[in-house]
Amino acid sequence: MLINTGDNVVDRFCPKCGGTNKHFFRGFCIECYTKDHELIVIPPKIEVNVCPSCLMFRIHGEWMPSTLENASKFVEEKVKPKQIDKVKILASPIEPTKNGALFNVSIAGYLGTDEIHLEQEVELIYTKRQCLICARKQSKYYKALIQIRPKDSDTTSKRMQSAFYFIRNQNRENAVKEREAEIFKFKKDKHGINVYFGSLRSAGSIVGQMKSKFGAEIKKSRSLFGMDRTGRKDYRTTYSVRI
């Protein structure tokens, strides 16, 4: 631990080390005082959940990109300074470790009228936890289904294929704004192409566009498929799209 202090020297002596010509706080020299008092409290183990599939961090119950900036902010929030006024905490990454990353935490502030600066190394440990989106991608979950069907025998398979590409590309764009839209599966069978969506919003907007783009005839239906954790009914929406 490094200690830097300002330079207003007072003519006193420290009852612990006998030192004079030092900076004092609550009757002791700053060095003795910081040695004997815990000025920063850092939990022995700082853990953050990381999704092994998409590598996102779970911070305050939300999944967010695993940037060093987010990790540093998370570490800073875990550091609790005591008795230090006007405190500024800054965590900066040093190097990756076997289970996470090592950070240098620098704490600057005032003990009484003296400026102090403390530094400490802290390891952030990554613990694996799959995020909801990745879990849903690997399961049979979906929220909406678009059934692409030929209007009549004149509909070519090329037209069916281009409708599918249109849907896929639009959904990819939507996935940039909404993670649920990353859930996307499809299946071809003798009736046509079934496209499964994690995002109802994405599916709904694509269907709207297909009306003008392909002159599609659309039938919408909804079915109950279960309840969520809060007891609210969960529905799946099916769009039958004839082109």
Cβ 27 vs Cβ 34: under 8 Å: no
C-beta closer to Zn ion: residue 28 or 103: 28
Contacts of 32 (CB under 8 A, 6+ apart): 14, 16, 17, 19
- # binding residues, Zn ion (CB under 5 A): 11
For position 207 contacting Zn ion by CB under 5 A, the verdict is: no
Alpha-carbon dihedral sign for residues 79, 125, 2, 72: negative
Minimal distance, residue 50 CB to Zn ion, in Å:
9
Contacts of 154 (CB under 8 A, 6+ apart): none
For position 108 contacting Zn ion by CB under 5 A, the verdict is: no
Q: Which of 23, 24, 25, 29 binds Zn ion (CB under 5 A)?
A: 29
Burial of 47 (0-12, 13-18, 19+ CB in 10 A): middle
For position 16 contacting Zn ion by CB under 5 A, the verdict is: yes
Tell me the window of 19-27, 72-80, 107-115, 234-242 that interacts with Zn ion (CB under 5 A): 19-27
Tell me the window of 24-32, 110-118, 162-170, 235-243 that interacts with Zn ion (CB under 5 A): 24-32
C-beta closer to Zn ion: residue 6 or 215: 6
C-beta closer to Zn ion: residue 51 or 111: 51
Chain residues 32-51 in contact with Zn ion, contact rule CB under 5 A: 32, 51
The closest alpha carbon to 150, from 217, 238, 219, 202, belongs to: 217
Contacts of 101 (CB under 8 A, 6+ apart): 68, 71, 93, 94, 95, 123, 124, 126
C-beta closer to Zn ion: residue 38 or 217: 38
For position 66 contacting Zn ion by CB under 5 A, the verdict is: no
Inter-CA distances, 221 with 118, 145, 224, Å: 63, 10, 10
Q: Which of 39, 91, 131, 167 binds Zn ion (CB under 5 A)?
A: 131
C-beta closer to Zn ion: residue 55 or 94: 55
C-beta closer to Zn ion: residue 134 or 181: 134
- In angstroms and rounded to an integer, the radius of gyration of the C-alpha atoms of the chain is 30
The closest alpha carbon to 184, from 166, 202, 159, belongs to: 202
Chain residues 132-151 in contact with Zn ion, contact rule CB under 5 A: 134
Dist. CA 90–CA 60, nearest whole Å: 19
Q: Residues in the site for Zn ion, rule: CB under 5 A?
A: 14, 16-17, 19, 29, 32, 51, 53-54, 131, 134
